Amino acid sequence: ARRRLRDRIEANLSGLMGPSVAQDMVETFLPYKSGSEKYVTEDIHFIESRLEDYHSRLTGLAAELD
């Protein structure tokens, strides 16, 4: 959850200040410490669930290509 929050903050700052400034600020003030294998597994499951939800919203050519 903290990693997703950190990524969201970086994305929001990127829109306001630009990507390089946002990345520098987030790395300076919100450093990410690599956790255990558990966090990697949670991230993978989160991404997979988001992709599955996204498939139901595809329409037109995107749905045909999927």
Region 4-22: mean pLDDT is 90
Q: What residue segments make up the domains of the chain, in order of their start?
A: 1-32, 34-66
What band does 38 get if pLDDT is binned at 50, 70 and 90? low
DSSP string, 7-31: HHHHHHHHHHH-HHHHHHHHHHHSP
CA distance 21 to 2: 20
What band does 18 get if pLDDT is binned at 50, 70 and 90? very high
pLDDT at 57: 72
Phi (first) and psi of residue 39, to 5 degrees: -70, -35
Query: Which residues, at least 6 apart from 25, have a Cβ–Cβ distance to it below 8 Å?
Result: 13, 17
**Residue 17 predicted with pLDDT over 70:** yes
The better pLDDT of the pair 50, 7 is held by 7
